[in-house]
Every structure is written in structure tokens, then in C-alpha cells.
Chains A and B, each alone.
Chain A
Amino acid sequence: MGSGNGKTKKKPYGKLLIAGILSVALYVLLLTKQGMINDYFSRGGFYAFLPIIAAFLFSIVHGSFTGNFWTALGIEAAKKHKGVK
């Protein structure tokens, strides 16, 4: 799957597992405590930082999970043409 060159790249199962557990934990927390979270996050003013920080946190954790997810499935960028100079 694009790994050619005789070498088979190691699949990032460990990273996938860790990021997956953290990501699920974040979503479980968000949904089980939604009443309290919405209460604080919708207060406006200084509390506006809360949704922004949460968005960054979720994007890093869940982004790492989804990135490793496709890599583990063997779906990676083309090796032959990087397209752009």
C-alpha cells in the first residue's frame, strides 16, 4: 500500500491505542458532564476561552487518533509524486 521499496513500515498501533483511549475519554467526559460543561462554556465574556481551549485539545488528541487510524489501515500519502514544488 504505497510502502514499496522492499521495506514494510511499522503500523502505529501503540499510538493509535493511546490516542484512541484519550479521545474516547474526552468525548465520554463531554457527553456525561454536558450540563455542567454547557453551563460554563456558554457564560460568555472571559469564559469564551473555554470552548477555544477545548477545541484545540480535542483537535490534537482526536486528530492524532484519526491520523494514526488511516495509517494503520495502510491509507497513506502517495510516495511517487508529491505533487508540488
Chain B
Amino acid sequence: MHDIVREAANFINLDSATMIYLFLVGFVGGLVSGFIGSGGAFVLTPAMMSLGVPGLVAVASNMCHKFPKALIGALKRAKYGQVDVKMGVVLGISAEAGVLYGAHIQEVIKKAFGDAGSNLYVSVAFVIILSVVGGFVLRDAFNTYRSGSTHEEEKTTKLAKWVQSVNIPGTMVYFKCLNARISVLFTIPLGFATGMLAATIAVGGFIGVPSMIYVMGAPSLMASATELVIAFVMGVGGSFKYAMHGLVDIRLAMIILAGSLFGIQLGAIGTTYVKPFVIKLVMGVIMAIVLFSRGLMVPVYLSQLGLIHKLSTTTVGMLKSSSFAIMAFALIVGAFIVLRAMWQGRRAERELTAREEALSIQ
């Protein structure tokens, strides 16, 4: 019986080049996740599929590396006082429900419109959400930078102030990251949306983090750290679900984890050196580039569904490889900004320490 499952899972042979490739992608993905709370999955799943791993095994194995990674990242950032465990668990549980519903919608679309329909749905979700949310996050980061107020504490948005002011008896919960009580009637739909997005485009954090910042009023550092708790809660449940069907290739998951645990520790350390707007900048830039990458795939799926003229095989091939390359580029750009900001932060701190020591000698 298990041979059938095994055959269905179709686990690939691993050579050293494949392992190094997965380790490196894991490292870069981990670095970005440690910093902004999510990211990496959108590159890891297609990266595994490009090695011949079946789609479901890639998704399952990615998820099985994500939750232990998120755990280590959350523990590290909790040491810096950046994690609100209660917020993470509350959002994580509603996100779990969102994941189940999101997966159900995917199945319905796949049954009705086939693979191309399902892919088109995923790409359109990517494009709409990333353009709206990503555009907003990026604009906010640029405005903060241009206004020269990068040193000041982040301002709570009007929306968040209103959300914090609404009092619905029996539903109010105090959250450390907000230093305020808000109704769980706000957190439940936001967690649900995070989970739905995670089930659809694999990166729930693109909704989770901005909603904690702009809708609830959490500081960027705490929002991105708390997202790791959400990713952990969602990831354990999701991995177990896939493992029940024998779809997790533990070798792939653990090799990616080997690289990503180096990355996530470094990314988490990086957050202590940067100004909060850098978190928004990294997130916004990645979202904008990924948006472009997914946008390229929309004509491919439209043509497969017969909604536009059929594209030639060469064009489809070019669009597919460009899309993947741009997606990988998004992650590399994100990692570059993180490392650069960290390098500058460390240099500034060393100079400050040297000046203090010189003063104390005098």
C-alpha cells in the first residue's frame, strides 16, 4: 500500500548539486523571512518544481521546512522583545481556518477550470493583492524616507486608531504589540485572510504583516516578528495535513532548513540594526518585483484557457523562465537590502562604541 503512496509522491533523487542549490535558496529565503517575517516560499516551491519535484510534494515539503524555520526565527526575535505570542496565536488559529478554506476554493477552481484556471486564479490573486498592498507598503516606506522622519517612532494610522477605539463588549483582548485592547472580531477576518493568501500564493505574510501594521497599529518590527508565530501555527497544521497523505519529502524539507536556519538567524539579528521603515522597504520592494513576475504569467494562462490568442511554445517558455528569474531576483534584492542595512548599522554601532570608549578614557 505504501508503495503506491510512495509512487504517487515520486520523490526525486538527490545529488550534491541539487542539495547545494536547495541549501542556498533556503539561506536567502531564510534571511528574508527572519527580517520581514515571511517570504521565500514563493521562490522555493517553483525552485523545487524546476528540479522535477511534483507540485504537491513541493508545497508540502516547503511547508514542512517553514514551520521549524519560523519557530527558530520567532524564538530569536522573542529574545529582542519583538514577538507578541498572543497576537501570533490568535491570528495563527484563524489563519489555519483561512488555509483550509483557501485550499477548498483552489480545489473547486481546479475541478471547474483545470490546471490553467487554477494557475490563473493564483496569478490574479498575486497581481491584485501585491499591487494594492505592496504599493501601499512601498509608498509608506518611501514617504517615511523622504520626510526624513526615519528616526521617529512610527505613526499609528487613522484606521488603526479607529480599530483600537471600537469597543465591542465580550470580544476585547489586550495585545502587547498594540499596547491596546482590540476586538477579536477584527483579528479573526485578518487572520483568515492571511491564511487564505498563504493557501493561494504561499506567502500569507504579505497580508498578515501589513494588516498588523496598518489596520491594527503594531510597530513594523513587532508585526514582522509576530508573523513568524503565525507562520509556525499555520505551518504545523498544514504540514501535518500533507504528511497524512505521505506528501512530505523530509530530505528536501531538511536540506532547505539547513540553509534557512543560517539565514533566519542572520535576518533576525539584522532587525536590531535597522530603522523600522527598512522592514517596509524590503517587503514593498519584494512585493513589487514579484507582482511583475506573476503578471508575466497571466497571458500564458489566459491563452491556455482559450481566452486570448494561443501563444507559441517559445513565447510560453520565455515568459515562464523570465517569471522565475524575476522572482528569484526579488528575493536576492530583498536579501541585498537586508545585508546592506545590517552592515551599515553594525558600522555605525562600532563607531559609536569607539567614540564612547574614547570619551570614557578622557
Contacts and interface: CB of A to CB of B under 8 A. Distances in A.
Contacts of B6: 38-39, 42
Secondary structure type dominating chain A contacts: helix
Given A62-B261, A66-B265, A2 B254 contact: no
A17 interface: no
A44 B244 contact: yes
A17 B138 CA distance: 42
B349 A78 contact: yes
B332 interface: no
A44 B239 CA distance: 12
Interface in B62-95: 64-65, 67-69, 71-72, 75-76, 79-82
Nearest to A59: B68
Nearest to A37: B250
A75 B353 contact: no
B256 to A, nearest CB: 11
Interface string A60-85: 00110111011000011111111110
How large, as a class, is the contact surface on chain B? Answer: 35 or more
A44 B246 CA distance: 4
B349 A2 contact: yes
How large, as a class, is the contact surface on chain A? Answer: 35 or more
Contacts of B261: 59, 62-63, 65-66
Interface of B: 2, 5-6, 9, 11, 14, 64-65, 67-69, 71-72, 75-76, 79-82, 219, 221-222, 236, 239-240, 243-251, 253-254, 257-258, 261-262, 265-266, 269, 271-273, 276, 345-346, 349-350, 352-353, 356-357
